[in-house]
Structure 1
Amino acid sequence: MEFTQLLERRRQRWTRFALLFTLFLVFISGLYLVVGEVFISPLEELSALEEQLILQLRLPRLLAALAVGASLAVSGAVLQVLLGNVLAEPGVLGISGGASVLMVLVLFFAPALATPFGFMLAAVIGALAFTILLVFIAKSMCLTTTRLLLVGVALGILSGAVVTWAFYFSDDLSLRQLMYWLMGSIGAASWYHHLLSLILLPVLIWLCCKGSLLDKLMMGEQHAKQLGVDVDQARWQLICAVSILVGGAVALGGVIGFVGLVVPHLLRLALGSENRYLLPISALAGAILVVLADLIARTALDSAELPLGVVTTSIGAPIFIWMLVSHHDSR
């Protein structure tokens, strides 16, 4: 009886936080639409210019921030279970870098495919290749947390080097602008780019419904098999879903780091590790974080805009160092 009551209290706590995050997301989204170089008062009738500003610039950018934040946070939460590593995250492990490498290769060697759909396909393939490589290394070599992180960081550095060399030998202005975008930016988001969001949304919803499966996988492969889980099939399905989300997020907003690390980890510390609740709330919290970070990125300077990836890294890097030191001490 006491155990049942404990479960009910925990479920109610998750529900309260889900409601709180939803309300805050609605508030910050409304603030995002009205605040900027041109302030738009919500109490006055919109002029034609203000209406165009919201519908053609701020609203598509807001939706991109929501999609990127939710996708990265849920991807990080799933990767942490798949790799058995609380420090796993698409940016830290080089998965986002793998997506960006293939996008740049497409831009250089197959410019006819340089469309939003072509970029997303390339990003998904690159993310999938790096994810499979990491899972294979982690499972076959039984790497410790530190070694797995080092492998991921090395892959990220390698992908960064490939992209840097490509842009160094390019004199095309559009490619140099793309380099800024790869630092993390959703400034160029338009309604046309949200064809990608239509693909990301069902995958995101599907992953959020797989919390019970992830709870079983957290018990270990043997226990999961005893509970009727086809571990190999489940792992590959989750890897493909994560790759689609990471690839789509990179195609929409470039390489934006630490969202998938900070959000699910802090939620686990504060609320617990039940993935059936953690995944949807991670989506809400990740969306809030990226919307806030992009609001800072476009309003912090009067005459310029900060790269979104720089803002999220400035927030996430100190937390990552703290997590790394704390995890090392716990070992």
Structure 2
Amino acid sequence: MEFTQLLVRKHKRWQQTIAWVAVSLVIISGIYLMVGELFINPFETLSSLEQQLIHQLRLPRLLSAVAIGASLAVSGAVLQVLLGNVLAEPGVLGISGGASVMMVLLLFFLPAYATPIGFMVSAVFGAMVFTLLLVVMTRALRLTTTRLLLVGVALGILSGAVVTWAFYFSDDLSLRILTYWLMGSIGGASWYQHVLTLVMIPVIIWLCCQGALLDKMMMGETHAKQLGIDVESVRWKLILGISILVGGAVALGGVISFVGLVVPHLLRLALGSENRYLLPISALSGAVLVVFADLIARTALDAAELPLGVVTTTIGAPIFIWMLVKNHDAH
């Protein structure tokens, strides 16, 4: 009886958290649309300029922030289960690196196609190529999950080397574009970029529905197989979904760090590891974090705009250090 009551209380706490985070996202989104160089009062009749400002600039940028935050946080939550490592995040498998490398190659070798749409296609393609490379290597060499993680780290290092070479050989204009993009920014968000968001949203929803499956996989690959789960098939479906989300996020906003690492890890420490609740809460919390970070990025300075990636790193790094210290003390 006590166990049943404890279970009910736990589920109620998860549900309350989902509700609170959803309300927080609505509130921060409303503030986001109001605040800027020109403050917009929602209780007054909007002028033509204010309507255009919301529709053409702030709303597509807000949707980009929500899509990026949800994608990175869900991807991080799934990877932490998939790899059995609480420090796993989209960059660990080299997927972010793959997207980055392909965008850099496009910028240098096909500059005529270095448009927002061109960058989106190349980022998703780069993420897919690195994912396919991981799949082929794992099947051919029969890599364990731990070795898969190491291969991902190696691919990330390789992609970093390619980007460093790009810095070395770039001219001034390309260097400025590359630097600004690597810092992470959604300042150029527009409606036609959200063709990619239409692809990302179903993948986010699908991953959020895999919680029960991931709960079984957390018990270990052997137990999961005994429960009738085709671990290999599930693993590659999940990695494919993650590659689409991370490629899309990199295409929309460049390299934005710590969201996929800090959000799900912090939620696990605070609430537990039930993935059927953790995944949707991670998606909502990631969206809240990136919207809040971009609000700071575009309003902190009067004459300039801070890079979004720098803001998320500034917020995320101290939190992550605190989590590591707390986790260490607990043991």
Letter paired with 1:217: M
2:238 corresponds in structure 1 to 238
In the alignment, the residues of structure 2 paired with residue 166 and residue 176 of structure 1 have an alpha-carbon distance, to the nearest angstrom, of 12
Deviations 1:280-319 (A, max 9, x none): 0100000000000000001111101110000001111223
Moved over 6 A (4+): 132-139, 328-331
Letter paired with 2:26: V
What TM-score, normalized to structure 2? 0.90
1:288 corresponds in structure 2 to 288
The answer to which of 125-134 and 270-279 deviates more is 125-134
Deviations 1:211-233 (A, max 9, x none): 11111110111111111111100
In the alignment, the residues of structure 1 paired with residue 317 and residue 94 of structure 2 have an alpha-carbon distance, to the nearest angstrom, of 15
Give unmatched runs, 5+ long, in structure 2: none
2:14 corresponds in structure 1 to 14
Q: Would you say 1:277 and 2:277 are equivalent positions?
A: yes
In the alignment, the residues of structure 1 paired with residue 320 and residue 154 of structure 2 have an alpha-carbon distance, to the nearest angstrom, of 17
2:49 corresponds in structure 1 to 49
Letter paired with 1:176: R
What TM-score, normalized to structure 1? 0.90
| Aligned residues of 1:87 and 1:324 also touching (Cα < 8 A) | no
Q: Would you say 1:189 and 2:189 are equivalent positions?
A: yes
- 1:112, CA displacement in angstroms? 5.5
- 1:126, CA displacement in angstroms? 2.7
For 1:140, which of 109, 123, 143 is the aligned residue?
143
Structure 1 pair 315–94 and aligned structure 2 pair: CA distance change class (3 A): farther
Structure 1 pair 121–4 and aligned structure 2 pair: CA distance change class (3 A): farther
1:126 corresponds in structure 2 to 126
Matches within 5 A, 1:173-322: 173=173, 176-322=176-322
Aligned residues: 328
2:161 corresponds in structure 1 to 161
| Aligned residues of 1:92 and 1:258 also touching (Cα < 8 A) | no
Give unmatched runs, 5+ long, in structure 1: none
Letter paired with 1:185: S
- 1:86, CA displacement in angstroms? 0.3
| Aligned residues of 1:263 and 1:285 also touching (Cα < 8 A) | yes
- State percent identity of aligned pairs: 76
| Aligned residues of 1:90 and 1:257 also touching (Cα < 8 A) | no
In the alignment, the residues of structure 1 paired with residue 173 and residue 107 of structure 2 have an alpha-carbon distance, to the nearest angstrom, of 13
